[in-house]
Amino acid sequence: MVRTGMPVSGFGGGFARTNARRRALLLLLLLLLAAAFGLLQAPVQAAAAPKPYSLEGVLTRGEQVRLDISIKLLSAYSGEAHVVFQLMEGNVPILINAVPLQKDEWEISQYFNVTGPDCKVKVFVFDRFDSDLAPPVPLAEPKVFQITN
């Protein structure tokens, strides 16, 4: 009479567990040997292409916080571009504003009506600024501007 739920072989399932452990150890040993003999190599990552735009600017405080920024096209790019300003108070985003870029070189002053001592502005250039959930393509290295006294 065979009882249901009991292993028929009489090994109690331990045999299968032992074989799984042996297979895992054998695979680990093979990987270590392949790495030791140079048969495994890390994938080569291509160097990141330089971004087509550059950002330079200064953040100052007067009656309002003001960011004077210069945006320049460094290499050929013909698609859309948007400058995104993110006002931060400490590490908390307070405001996000985006302006479409229309020229290869552009200087703008962006004013922020804040008085906090720990404000900074993060600036990005993206290929789009919309409600699409896919991330936009960065077209410049992002910069953080802080008030220097």
Model confidence over 5-59: pLDDT tens digits? 544 444 455 555 667 777 776 666 666 556 656 665 655 555 567 889 999 999 9
User: Are the CB atoms for 125 and 81 separated by under 8 Å?
Assistant: yes
For 77-121, write each residue's pLDDT tens digit: 888 999 999 999 888 899 999 999 988 888 999 999 887 778 899
Residue 73 has pLDDT above 70, yes or no: yes
Helix (H), strand (E) at residue 53: strand 53-61
- Look at residue 55 in the predicted model and tell me its pLDDT: 95
Phi, psi of 74 (to 5 degrees): -100, -30
- CA atoms of 2 and 7, how far apart (whole Å): 9
Tokens of 79: 């698609």
SS3 label, residue 18? helix
